[in-house]
């Protein structure tokens, strides 16, 4: 009818697509709180059955009234007790229905809170188990973001809609049961009149579901543009470069495409919907007429007529409620499909169990290590052989993009190399217990995190085991040359940083770098310390002092520095020069100057600038 399916099972599957995640949503709710789920189920069934009861009692009331009218017109005395009893029963049933609906609302409210917390926790717990590479994958990022958005509302909404569907379905069946006494044909009409609209709504919802999923990249771009246009940290540059109009233009264009697709789908859906609803209406009113005629002919009583009309009208209302539920279910399904896709992706098997290497004096060894980022065409690190001993200070230099940071990420176990091996204390990184390995390595990257927390916590983050030790904060801050400006902050180490929270202080780039350095110095337990250009905003003298500090502090450890300043780099015992992912030169400053290679050229270039 609406599609040209290859075979029946595909049709059925695409029709039932809209219910795909209902079972999982119910399972999720069930495992969140059994008592509430059972209550919700019982209340839903009751809410489904009660309206038919009300309709039936309505018939008894009318029949009793008609009987008494007959008694009175025959000159007798009316007896009111039957009518009044049935009225009481109906009143009680309606009161019960109100109570049941309130109960459903109550269960839903409680479940919403519990579910929201449960789903958010599941999402974040999963995020903790994933690899860095997964976070850098745009599709993954999309999944994570979409799973997080609306985590609090969607699962419950799907459950509500599924239960609502069941409730109206039960009502419909019970109406059918009452109607059966009138004529099985009437039941057939009730079902047949609703069915086409029902099928159409299901099919179109399934289609919206698929269209929406297909548009993921466009929506990601929209989300990104919204962020660039509206977020405080982007606003400065967007204004200065007058990028606003251009970005708005792109935003509108993508929006236009999406809108157009939606419009077409909506037109098709609503025209079908209208046609089928007309058909349904025709059937309903035909049956009305039939019931009315049957009453006039005396085939059914006045009470029965009241009941059948009510049942038919409410049956119609139930069908339209079910259609609305199905219409909304596609969005809920979409959400749940994202959620489960995200939750069920493979968790990488992390490392082995080695906690202490057999040869601590062996330090760090790279053996022919190469690495290419997923999706990239050229390797970021190529055939690297390198041996760094404890106590050695190393500087890595090279042009932008030469692979310095990637080398550090490999060393920290953030990515496994594609080929070659990295040993630390005589054990392959792959065999290290990841937690033990991370405890042995402290790295501050150029794009270190600026936590919207207190100053002290920003420093303490370098060593979670001692996050709260004030004395250590101050000591680390002194080494990172941060204590002077921290002392001037309103609440010193307890000053809130960043703009997200009340009274948050924003720091300059250089001040943030000092905080990051203090974070590095906090990491006293680590055997390898790496500073990947976090000193770029500082003046050359401060950088050199910090590096000296760093070297003395790490006397029996491995200290690695990435910097573009040769005044600092020259102080390292071993200088490694990288170019296009390879190590092309290595040695002390003097060795390398003598070699007259890339290092000597870069050094000379910088030295000229100072002459």
Q: Minimum distance between the CB of residue 403 and ligand ADP, rounded to whole angstroms?
A: 4
Q: Minimum distance between the CB of residue 374 and ligand ADP, rounded to whole angstroms?
A: 7
Q: Minimum distance between the CB of residue 350 and ligand ADP, rounded to whole angstroms?
A: 19
Q: Minimum distance between the CB of residue 239 and ligand ADP, rounded to whole angstroms?
A: 28
CA distance 252 to 260: 12
Q: Minimum distance between the CB of residue 173 and ligand ADP, rounded to whole angstroms?
A: 57
Q: Would you call 594 exposed, middle or buried from its count of C-beta atoms within 10 A (0-12, 13-18, 19+)? A: exposed
Which tokens hold the place of 603? Answer: 């050094």
CA distance 480 to 547: 10
Q: Minimum distance between the CB of residue 435 and ligand ADP, rounded to whole angstroms?
A: 23
CA distance 33 to 38: 9
Q: Would you call 208 exposed, middle or buried from its count of C-beta atoms within 10 A (0-12, 13-18, 19+)? A: buried
Between 405 and 495, CB nearer to ligand ADP: 405
Report in angstroms the alpha-carbon separations of 218 from 153, 331, 337: 24, 17, 18
Nearest to 405 by CA among 514, 543, 517, 531: 531
CA distance 507 to 232: 15
Q: With contact defined as beta carbons under 8 Å apart, do 43 and 110 qualify?
A: no
What is the phi-psi region of residue 363: left when phi exceeds 0, alpha when psi lies from -120 to 50, beta otherwise? left
User: What's CA 548's distance to the chain center, in Å?
Assistant: 44
Q: Minimum distance between the CB of residue 606 and ligand ADP, rounded to whole angstroms?
A: 17
Taking the CA atoms of residue 534, residue 538, residue 540 and residue 546 in that order, the dihedral angle to the nearest 10 degrees is -60
Q: Minimum distance between the CB of residue 402 and ligand ADP, rounded to whole angstroms?
A: 4
Between 374 and 525, CB nearer to ligand ADP: 374
Q: Minimum distance between the CB of residue 489 and ligand ADP, rounded to whole angstroms?
A: 32
Between 433 and 580, CB nearer to ligand ADP: 580
Residues 6+ apart with CB under 8 A from 382: 370, 403, 580, 581, 582
Between 4 and 400, CB nearer to ligand ADP: 400
Count of CB atoms situated within 10 Å of the CB of 383:
15
Which tokens hold the place of 177? Answer: 């049961």
Q: Minimum distance between the CB of residue 411 and ligand ADP, rounded to whole angstroms?
A: 12
Angle at the Cα of 481 from the Cα atoms of 477 and 484, rounded to 5 degrees: 80
Q: Minimum distance between the CB of residue 381 and ligand ADP, rounded to whole angstroms?
A: 7
Q: Minimum distance between the CB of residue 491 and ligand ADP, rounded to whole angstroms?
A: 36
Interface contacts to ligand ADP, rule CB under 6 A: 136, 373, 376, 380, 398, 400-406
Q: With contact defined as beta carbons under 8 Å apart, do 516 and 445 qualify?
A: no
Q: Give me the phi and psi of 279, to 5 degrees please.
A: -60, -45
Between 133 and 199, CB nearer to ligand ADP: 133
Angle at the Cα of 588 from the Cα atoms of 587 and 594, rounded to 5 degrees: 85
Q: Minimum distance between the CB of residue 532 and ligand ADP, rounded to whole angstroms?
A: 7
Between 327 and 413, CB nearer to ligand ADP: 413
Between 340 and 373, CB nearer to ligand ADP: 373
Q: Give me the phi and psi of 359, to 5 degrees please.
A: -125, 80
Angle at the Cα of 360 from the Cα atoms of 355 and 364, rounded to 5 degrees: 95
Q: Minimum distance between the CB of residue 546 and ligand ADP, rounded to whole angstroms?
A: 20
Would you mind telling me the total number of residues written for the chain in this entry? 611
Nearest to 315 by CA among 194, 466, 485: 194
Between 164 and 379, CB nearer to ligand ADP: 379
Pairing of strands 574-579, 582-587: antiparallel
Between 376 and 608, CB nearer to ligand ADP: 376
Q: With contact defined as beta carbons under 8 Å apart, do 292 and 301 qualify?
A: no
Report in angstroms the alpha-carbon separations of 475 from 213, 217, 441, 517: 52, 48, 20, 12
Report in angstroms the alpha-carbon separations of 383 from 188, 403, 421, 582: 76, 12, 10, 7
Question: What is the Rg, in whole angstroms, of the alpha carbon atoms belonging to the chain?
Answer: 36
């Amino acid at each position: 009818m609406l599609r040209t399916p290859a075979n029946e099972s595909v049709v059925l599957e695409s029709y039932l697509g809209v219910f795909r995640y209902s079972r999982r949503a119910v399972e999720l709710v069930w495992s969140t709180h059994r008592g509430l789920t059972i209550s919700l189920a019982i209340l839903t069934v009751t809410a489904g059955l009660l309206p038919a009861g009300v309709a039936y009692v309505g018939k008894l009331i009318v029949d009793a009234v008609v009987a008494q009218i007959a008694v009175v017109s025959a000159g007798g005395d009316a007896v009111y007790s039957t009518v009044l009893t049935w009225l009481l029963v109906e009143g009680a049933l309606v009161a019960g229905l109100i109570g049941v609906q309130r109960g459903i609302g109550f269960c839903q409210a409680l479940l919403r809170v519990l579910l929201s917390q449960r789903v958010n926790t599941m999402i974040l717990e999963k995020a903790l188990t994933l690899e860095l590479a997964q976070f850098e994958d745009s599709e993954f990022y999309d999944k994570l973001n979409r799973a997080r958005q609306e985590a609090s509302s969607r699962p419950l909404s799907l459950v509500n809609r599924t239960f609502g569907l069941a409730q109206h379905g039960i009502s419909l069946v019970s109406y059918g049961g009452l109607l059966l006494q009138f004529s099985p044909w009437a039941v057939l009409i009730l079902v047949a009149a609703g069915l086409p609209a029902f099928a159409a709504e299901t099919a179109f919802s399934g289609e919206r579901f698929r269209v929406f999923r297909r548009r993921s990249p466009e929506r990601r771009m929209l989300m990104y543009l919204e962020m660039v246009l509206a977020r405080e940290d982007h606003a400065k540059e967007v204004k200065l470069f007058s990028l606003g109009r251009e970005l708005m233009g792109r935003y509108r264009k993508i929006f236009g495409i999406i809108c157009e697709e939606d419009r077409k789908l909506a037109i098709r859906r609503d025209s079908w919907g209208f046609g089928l609803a007309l058909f349904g209406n025709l059937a309903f009113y035909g049956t009305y007429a039939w019931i009315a005629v049957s009453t006039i002919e005396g085939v059914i009583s006045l009470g029965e007529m009241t009941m059948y009309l009510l049942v038919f009208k409410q049956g119609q209302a139930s069908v339209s409620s079910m259609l609305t539920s199905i219409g909304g279910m596609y969005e809920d399904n979409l959400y749940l499909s994202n959620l489960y896709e995200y939750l069920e992706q493979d968790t990488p098997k992390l490392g082995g169990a080695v906690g202490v290497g057999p040869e601590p004096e062996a330090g760090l060894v790279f053996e022919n290590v190469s690495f290419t980022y997923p999706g990239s065409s050229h390797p970021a690190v190529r055939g690297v052989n390198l041996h760094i001993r404890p106590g050695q200070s190393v500087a890595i230099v090279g042009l932008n993009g030469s692979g310095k940071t990637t080398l550090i990420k490999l060393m920290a176990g953030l990515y496994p190399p594609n080929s070659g091996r990295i040993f630390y204390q005589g054990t392959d990184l792959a065999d290290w217990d990841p937690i033990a390995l991370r405890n042995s390595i402290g790295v501050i990257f150029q794009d270190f995190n600026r936590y919207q927390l207190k100053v002290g916590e920003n420093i303490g983050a370098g060593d979670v085991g001692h996050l709260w030790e004030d004395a250590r904060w101050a000591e680390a801050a002194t080494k990172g040359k941060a204590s002077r400006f921290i002392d001037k902050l309103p609440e010193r180490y307890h000053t809130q940083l960043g703009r997200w929270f009340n009274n948050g202080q924003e720091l300059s780039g250089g001040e943030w770098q000092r905080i990051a350095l203090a974070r590095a110095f906090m990491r006293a337990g680590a055997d390898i310390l790496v500073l990947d250009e976090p000193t770029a905003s500082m003046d050359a003298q401060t950088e050199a002092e910090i590096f000296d500090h760093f070297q003395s502090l790490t006397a029996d450890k491995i200290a690695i520095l990435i910097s573009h300043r040769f005044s600092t780099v020259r102080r390292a015992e071993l200088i490694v020069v990288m170019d296009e992912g390879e190590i092309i030169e290595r040695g002390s400053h003097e060795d390398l100057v003598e070699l007259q290679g890339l290092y000597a050229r870069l050094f000379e270039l910088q030295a000229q600038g100072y002459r």
